[in-house]
Amino acid sequence: MHEMGIALQIAEIAKSAIPKTPEDLKIKAVNLRVGKLTAIVPDSLRFCFEIVVKNTPLDGAALNIEEVPIVAVCKECYAETIITDADFSCGKCKSGKLDIISGRELTVSSIEVADPEESETNKKKSKKK
C-alpha cells in the first residue's frame, strides 16, 4: 500500500509549514490535488493519514482530496479529451496519439491552520469533559 508512504510525506510537508510561534498551532485541514493516474485510493490515503498524524499538531486535521481527471490533447486534431476509462484515444478523431496534460498531480494545494483562539476554546472544552 503506497498510500502509507504518501501519507507520511504529506504529514512532513504540513508539519514543516506550521509557523514557529510561542502558542501551539494546530492544522485544521490539508488540501490535496490528486490525479487519477497516480492510482491513489482516496479512502486508503485518508485512513493512513489519520494513523500517521496521531499525537502531532496535525491530529484531527481533515485531509481534503480533490481528484484531478485525466485530460489529454490529441496530436492529430488538437482536441482536448477527458479520459474516463481504459480507452486512451481522442474523443473527436479516435487517434491514440495523445499528450497527457493532467491526471498525474499529487500536490499539497493548501494547509489550513486553526485559529489559535479556536484551539484554546477546544482545549478548555475537552478538559471539562
CATH architecture assigned to 3-69+102-114:
2-Layer Sandwich (3.30)
Q: What residues contact 118, with CB distance under 8 A and at least 6 apart?
A: none
The dihedrals phi and psi of 55, each to the nearest 5 degrees, come to 60, 35
For the chain, give every domain's residue range: 3-69+102-114
pLDDT (0 to 100) of residue 120: 53
- Selection from 109, 105, 97, 67 nearest residue 84 by Cα: 67
Q: How many other CB atoms sit within 10 Å of the CB of residue 87?
A: 9
Tell me the whole-structure pTM to 2 decimals: 0.78
- Selection from 55, 53, 30, 56 nearest residue 42 by Cα: 30
Instruction: Write out the chain's pLDDT in tens, 129 residues.
Output: 589 999 999 999 998 888 777 567 788 999 999 999 999 999 999 999 999 999 988 999 999 999 999 999 999 999 999 999 888 999 999 999 999 999 999 999 999 988 776 655 555 554 554
Report the greatest alpha carbon distance in the chain.
Answer: 67
Q: Give the strand pairing for 70-74 and 98-102.
A: antiparallel
CA 23/CA 33 separation, integer angstroms: 30
